[in-house]
Structure 1
Amino acid sequence: GANVLLPFAFHCSGYSIIESADRNWDARDSPEERSDSKLRGRDDIREFQFPYHWVWYMPPSAVEDLKEYGLGCDWRRSFVTT
C-alpha cells in the first residue's frame, strides 16, 4: 500500500572502485599539480587507496545525501551488495 517503505541497496563492487583507488594512489605523489581545494583532503585520500574503505565510507555518505534529497525508504533495511 501507500505506507510501504522499500529497502535501499548500495552496489559496491567492480572496477570503478579499484580504478578510483588506483588513481588516488598515484595522485598522492604529485601534489604540485593539484589546486589548493584538492589538497584540503590530502591526508584523507590515502585511505581511499584501499577498496574496502570505499565500501565503508560511501554508503553512509550517500544516505545523508539521499535523506536531504527526500528519498523515502526503510533505512533500517539498507544493505551493501558486492
Structure 2
Amino acid sequence: MNKHLLRLDFGDTLRHTNNRGEADEYIVYGSHAHFNSSDDKYSNKNVIPIDKLSEFKNLKLLYDVLWEYIQYTNIKEGTDIDGTG
C-alpha cells in the first residue's frame, strides 16, 4: 500500500465523507486536502477543506496556474507517454 503525503482535490461539487461509519460521520463539500492517506480506494480517509487551511492561502492561485499549464501544454486525460492510451 502506498501513502499520499499530500493530495489536493479541487472542485466546487466534490463531496467527501469523513469518519465514515462512525457516530461523528460528516460530509466535506468542495475542494479538500488529503494528508498522509492510503491510496486504497476503500480505506477510510479524512480530509480537510482547503479553505480551512490558513497555511495554504494561495492554493486557489496554485490551481489556476496548474490549470493554465495543462491547457498550454495540451495535456489530455488518459494519455500515456507513448501516446497509446
Task: Calculate the TM-score normalised by the size of structure 1.
Answer: 0.29
**More helix per residue:** 1
Larger CA Rg, structure 1 vs 2: 1
Task: Calculate the TM-score normalised by the size of structure 2.
Answer: 0.28
Which of the pair has the greater relative contact order for Cα pairs under 8 Å at 6+ separation? 1
